Amino acid sequence: MMSPSLLRLVRRSAALVSATALVSSLSACGGEGGDQHAQALRDKIAQKIMLDIRYFCPDQQRTEENQGHCAEPVTRLPGALRQMITETGIGGIILFADNLESAEQIIALNGDLQAAAASSRSGSPLLIGIDQEGGRVHRLPRAEATAFAGNMAIGATYPRHGEHFAAETAAAMAEQLRGLGFNVNFAPTVDVNSNPQNPVINVRSYSENPEVVAELGVAAIRAFQAQQVAATVKHFPGHGDTSVDSHTGLPRVERSLQQARAIDLLPFARAFDQAQPALTMTAHIQYPALDDTTITSQDGEQIVVPATLSRRILTDLLRGEMGYEGVIVTDSLGMAGISDYFSTEEAVVNTFAAGADIALMPLKIRFPEDIARLHRIIDHAVAAVQRGQLSEAEIDTSVARIAALKQRYIDSGWIAASAAERQQMAERVLSKPEHARLADALASAAVSVIYPPAANILPVLSADVKKIQVLAPSPAVGEAYRLALQAVTEASVEMLDAHNALANLPASDADVLIVASIVPGESAVELGGMEDLNQLNRPPLPLEELYDVYRRSLAIARQRGQKTVFVSMRSPYEAAAFQRLADLHLATFDYKAFIGDDDVFQGPIYRALAAALASDRAPVGSLPVTVQSGLDAIPEDASES
């Protein structure tokens, strides 16, 4: 039996031999001479670019009135985008929820994308990627593709179930993706969430324990790739100890080198050694312990180089010291952590110089005129090669890595199949009842008690409970609660919101108050991207006011003798603000519901919650992060509110 190192060498050699054929074909496309060489370089650079086509307005232009805003989702491939793919020969496309309406439509779109790529000079098929992490980062239509709770929910199951749910949910998601024509998943997240204030990772992390993150991450990678979907570990070198969202700013990690190796880098090192993830995604973060050199921003400011643009981090550390041989892909270059400091052209050239293989979403293609910008970006990178800023030998090696990735993970059988055959493939995996059973099992196993429950609180929904009040963050969440609770109790259910709770509680005859919280609000990655930023941080009330309503409502209910339950549906850390105000604190790590065939809101997490509240035993999940104690206080004037 070959040693792991020898096996990796054999795989690498075989992949590079076959990948060299694509590099040679790209070089041969132009023939001889300066113009032909430049064209060959353009073809190679294009293979290193992966775009989103989330929105496209084919009959509009950028104007002062629309400020570059286009809101027409691409669900069918417009002629202009088809021509762009064919003419440029770009290497990949990433799709978002806006692009994905139904299985039939997704299959048609992905088929058209591959047909456009087949007509390019190289004929190289596309990497078609997606952020399908599970939990709140879920892009496929929930009514057709079974949705699973995310990483921290899986982390909560680890003490009882080990890697079971990490492997099984990854395998199920990979089946769904492959059947729909995807070949790359930008998952799993192996960041170690050690900062409770982290706005972008948080419950996308398995745990605060790097060993647990490593084990679950390895299991997920193996499961994705066993189903022939390329897995991506992210966000290198580790985004877990940040308090700034790199979609909106440039986070900085202040760890020592020793801490970096023991915490943030450990899951990546373990993944490289034990699972060989096909891709590694960079983080738009400053990490001075790993690289404290400075770079000049477009405003002339000297800043610590972000990891995405750091040769020390991507080439010396990731490739050299850690021995990673797969494809390095950037996080979206349109995120503020890069775009606020560098022009698109600078970002692309600098990340290629640092060692990245694929520049992800360097610009938005929203109007026909943007296609010309793509050509300019490619030409700018070609010029960087010609003047020696980029190494052509490194470009060739990088394109060979991308070609090897495509050879291994692009399903030529899916591409060659007819539309009817593709539809049959998708239906076989999307209709699997075991996927739905797995989602329910994970949700039930994940529900966790945050603090020891008050005596005699269980079951919350005892036989003498006649009326339940639910203070919900939105009508959809409230409806999902109502339907789930009605399935386990005959008690009536009254829905409250933050605007009417304090008015209705004092005179209420309810027996139970459930406060369901989804704070902090969704991050850009959960919503889908930078264009959703205008939706961020807009709860029904400002956070201080919202939390004041929660506190006063719980205090009033307790003074009236009601049972009180606080459910952290997004981040468990927030429970610290309400510890002494509720008899029972639960964490679900998920809150998503969808409208099913029966036109009602439903979701595994709501069924699991209802069952937990009706049980005389505490939920079996184990909190995978530390939640502080004693941060709350009962308002003195609660009885008068």
Task: Give dist(CA 190, CA 216) in Å, integer.
Answer: 9
Does 636 score more than 70 pLDDT? no
Burial of 65 (0-12, 13-18, 19+ CB in 10 A): exposed
Q: What fold, for 447-640?
A: Rossmann fold (3.40.50)
Could you give the CA distance from residue 125 to residue 128 in angstroms, rounded to a whole number?
Answer: 9
Residue 27, pLDDT score: 60
**Angle between helices 368-386 and 34-47 in degrees, nearest 10:** 120
Q: Where are the domains of the chain?
A: 4-430, 447-640
Residue among 331, 333, 229 at smallest CA distance from 280: 331
Structure tokens that stand for 70 in this block: 């286009």
Query: Average of pLDDT values for 77-97?
Result: 98
Model confidence at 533, pLDDT cuts 50, 70, 90, reads very low
What SS3 class is residue 90? coil
Query: Residue 381: CB partners within 8 Å, gap ≥ 6?
Result: 45, 345, 348, 349, 352, 390
pLDDT of residue 330: 98
Mean pLDDT of 185-198: 94
pLDDT of residue 503: 86
Strand pairing class (492-496; 467-471) = parallel
- Does 18 score more than 70 pLDDT? no
Contacts of 635 (CB under 8 A, 6+ apart): 548, 551, 552, 555, 641
Query: For residue 507, what pLDDT band results from cuts at 50, 70 and 90?
Result: confident
SS3 of residue 2 by DSSP: coil
Structure tokens at 398: 């990088």
Q: Report the distance separating Cα 26 and Cα 99, nearest Å.
A: 30
Rounded Cα–Cα distance for residues 333 and 595 (Å): 34
Could you read off the pLDDT of 343-377 as tens digits, one per residue?
999 999 999 999 999 999 999 999 999 999 999 99
Q: Which of 89, 96, 131 is nearest to 113 (CA)?
A: 89
Residue range 283-328, pLDDT digits in tens? 999 999 999 999 999 999 999 999 999 999 999 999 999 999 999 9
DSSP labels, 403-459:
HHHHHHHS-HHHHHS-HHHHHHHHHHHHT-HHHHHHHHHHHHHH-EESSPPPTT--S
Surface-to-core class of residue 503, CB atoms within 10 Å of its CB (0-12 exposed, 13-18 middle, 19+ buried): exposed
Which residues sit opposite 496 in a β-bridge? 471
Residues 343, 362: contact at Cβ < 8 Å?
Answer: no
- pLDDT category at 632 given cuts 50, 70, 90 is low
Per residue in 199-231, pLDDT tens? 788 999 999 999 999 999 999 999 999 999 999
Q: Is pLDDT of 14 > 50?
A: no
Amino acid present at 376: R
Element (H, E) at 510: none
What mean pLDDT is reported for the chain?
90
Q: What is the pLDDT of residue 571?
A: 92
pLDDT at 334 over 50: yes
> How high is the pLDDT of residue 371?
97
Confidence of residue 186 (pLDDT cuts 50, 70, 90): very high
Cβ atoms within 10 Å, residue 630: 8
Instruction: Report which residue type is found at 462.
Output: S
Q: Does pLDDT of 630 surpass 90?
A: no
The mean pLDDT value for 470-499 works out to 93
Mean pLDDT of the region 127-148: 94
SS3 at position 552: helix
In terms of DSSP H, where are the helices of 201-286? 210-226, 257-259, 265-274
Consecutive H or E run containing 88: helix 79-88
Decide: 132 and 177 in contact? Cβ < 8 Å. yes
Q: Judge whether 577 and 520 are in contact, CB under 8 Å.
A: no
* 393-414 average pLDDT score: 98
CATH number for 4-430: choose from 3.40.50.300, 3.90.79.10, 3.40.50.1000, 3.20.20.300: 3.20.20.300
Residue position matching structure tokens 């299991």: 219
Query: What's residue 119's pLDDT?
Result: 97
> Is the pLDDT score of 479 beyond 60?
yes
pLDDT higher than 90, residue 552: yes
Ranges 484-493, 543-552, 599-608: which has the least confidence? 599-608
- Catalogue the active-site residues: 331
- Residue of 506, 507, 461 lying closest to 486 (CA atoms): 461
Residue 249 has a pLDDT of: 82
Within 366-391, residue ranges assigned H as helices are: 368-386
Whether the predicted pLDDT of 42 surpasses 60: yes
Q: Is residue 272 within 8 Å of 323, Cβ to Cβ?
A: yes
What confidence score (pLDDT) does residue 320 get? 98
pLDDT of amino acid 12 = 42
Show Cβ contacts of residue 529 under 8 Å, excluding neighbours closer than 6 positions: 52, 54, 96, 332, 334
In percent, how much of the chain has pLDDT > 70? 89
Of the two residues 527 and 309, the one the predictor is more confident about is: 309
- The token pair at 97 is 């929820």
pLDDT of res. 212: 98
| 32 band by pLDDT with thresholds 50, 70 and 90 | low
Question: Tokens representing 484?
Answer: 């789930």
